[in-house]
A and B are shown apart, each in its own frame.
Chain A
């Protein structure tokens, strides 16, 4: 018997049509816009006007466009840090704490090396920040490799511990006596990242971010270590069978990841704040995980995603200033986009077929 009903079914496909891939970010953005407009109405603002100030207005003036790059800098670095670990199947959720480890190194050395010329100070604090992030990442990495303790939990808990260390420093030995806020003394002029463009906040940190992205691209796609990392990330037993030293590969990936996150902390201290403060990072370590995911764990993707999130961060501040919509709209938009895009990424593997 023939049924007259029209039956549609999702069928799995391995090669989605080429036009689907660029469509996903656009679709995700549209759906996110629809979902968040309810909140914008609640804040007594017009969604279209809000989204104009949110995503378009920052691109229209030079000052605000440069500000996007400033906001993108820490995200590029934490996104690269997370990608490095995730690609090797090591779930480093600790970039936030590792960022602060790097920031502590930069704030300490930036003050101690006041008399040293900049061409020595700046490379020193970058390397020290890398080392500090790496050192903080060593604890969960060793626990994982040597004792099989889940890294997700330990890195998360160590983020909290790092928060207390920063607070102890700022309320204790490092507290700047000349300031009402808990912050460390200002770093020396020789430690401050020079501006790329005068009268903007764009500084050397952005260049370092791009260099790290390039290194990430090179290591992941052009070196045998990158191949090993990805093999371990795809499946440890198979990688082991192929003769790859799984423990050592994981350890190196975890430590380098921590080091890159440490550089993000250096860039915030030496490029933006010039002090160690408790609010140094607006959750950049966690946003890095979203960036790495939306960037599909590849360097180009991470670069594009961090620029877009930089736009969202800069736009959220404009919206809050101009229309009085709380600045947290930025965080909500980023999270919603992530969840929506993840759904769409999967849908691209399916096709609608008439049965």
Chain B
């Protein structure tokens, strides 16, 4: 039983990583007043381009870097549409998701054809700092990116948002852009920056899936994880640390369903019930948290200097 629980916690950390990165990225975008529904596509493109570059160059880190840069580019495209042009944020985001999906699948088909078994690469190795203590090893044998996400990105994102003037600017342009502008903040530049950071983190989450967790790229690699991340942002009340708890709840449910599946229990319900469970739990968590959700006041509203 202890083994089962330790196993489960270890798997939870692994499964939560991509969602956590994406959720923090979305937190930054939304804190600046932009709902980025391009998240699903940005993750998908990050997963693809990371895999593609790593496969062609032989360097996983180069693949990861290019993936993050691609996310920054799509974040800036989102900024061009919603910040400069003031286009509807829902539609722009979904358009970017569609564009990213199309581009990834186009390039994938062109380079790998329509083969039924997806090509794979040698993925990142897991770190094992406590090899000699079995139970601790089960818990801590994780990818470097998982360590970075939980121990560096989360505190850094929190600190940046709440303890620096840059974070104050992000929050102010998302709450009251007129006042921020009057106080001398460049609303447009801050929103561009927040979307660029956010896009980079989303793509990093996608690249984690293809370069670490799977070592391959498949059509269903993201499978709605971006939408889950958006739910987690609301659940976490736009706070990176609380988003981490949300990501862990989703990750925990996912890890649990994977374990239950591999245990091969003969259950009277289809295994898809377990696959759907994390999404349903996310909706329930959203409903429970929804009453206290305090949306950034300027979310969805383009800012115009008239």
Q: Which residues of A contact B (CB under 8 A)?
A: 39, 42-43, 91, 93, 143, 147-150, 152-154, 156-161, 163-165, 167-168, 171-172, 283, 286-287, 289-290, 293, 326-332, 334-336, 338-339, 342-343, 345-346
One digit per residue, 1 when the CB lies within 8 angstroms of any chain A CB and 0 when it does not, for chain B 96-132 equals: 1111011101110110000000000000000000000
> Given the interface contacts A339-B81, A339-B99, does A160 sit within 8 Å of B276 by beta carbon?
yes
Interface contact B95-A290, CB-CB below 8 Å: yes
- For B86, B95, B107, B287, the residue with the greatest tally of chain A CB atoms inside 10 Å of its CB is B95
Interface contact A149-B287, CB-CB below 8 Å: yes
Determine how close the nearest CB of chain A comes to the CB of B140; give it in whole angstroms.
31
Q: Residues of B contacting A342 with CB < 8 Å?
A: 81, 85, 87-88, 91-92, 95
Interface contact A157-B95, CB-CB below 8 Å: no
Majority SS at the chain B contact face: helix
Of the A-B pairs whose beta carbons lie under 8 Å apart in the complex, a sample of 6, sorted by A's number, is: A150-B293, A153-B231, A286-B94, A290-B91, A326-B105, A332-B102
Known pairs A153-B227, A157-B279. 16 more at Cβ < 8 A?
Answer: A93-B37, A143-B290, A148-B290, A157-B282, A161-B276, A164-B273, A171-B272, A172-B270, A286-B94, A286-B97, A290-B95, A331-B105, A335-B99, A339-B95, A342-B88, A342-B91
Interface contact A165-B276, CB-CB below 8 Å: yes
Q: How many A-B residue pairs have CB under 8 A?
A: 141
Q: Residues of B contacting A332 with CB < 8 Å?
A: 99, 102-103, 106
The distance in angstroms between the C-alpha atoms of A339 and B87, with both chains bound, is: 9
Interface contact B224-A159, CB-CB below 8 Å: yes
> Given the interface contacts A149-B287, A150-B234, does A157 sit within 8 Å of B228 by beta carbon?
yes
Interface contact B102-A157, CB-CB below 8 Å: no
> Given the interface contacts A158-B283, A335-B102, A346-B87, does A153 sit within 8 Å of B230 by beta carbon?
yes
- For B86, B96, B272, the residue with the greatest tally of chain A CB atoms inside 10 Å of its CB is B272
Q: Residues of B contacting A329 with CB < 8 Å?
A: 102, 106
Q: Residues of A contacting B77 with CB < 8 Å?
A: 339
Interface contact B279-A153, CB-CB below 8 Å: no
Q: Residues of A contacting B279 with CB < 8 Å?
A: 157-158, 160-161, 164
Majority SS at the chain A contact face: helix
The distance in angstroms between the C-alpha atoms of A159 and B226, with both chains bound, is: 13
Determine how close the nearest CB of chain B comes to the CB of A178; give it in whole angstroms.
21
The distance in angstroms between the C-alpha atoms of A287 and B95, with both chains bound, is: 9
Q: Which of B263-293 contact A (CB under 8 A)?
A: 270-273, 275-276, 279-280, 282-283, 286-287, 290-291, 293
- Among all A-B residue pairs, the 10 with the closest Cβ atoms: A331-B102, A335-B99, A168-B272, A160-B224, A332-B102, A156-B227, A335-B98, A326-B109, A164-B276, A168-B270
Q: Residues of A contacting B182 with CB < 8 Å?
A: none
Interface contact B283-A343, CB-CB below 8 Å: no
B151 within 8 A of partner (CB): no
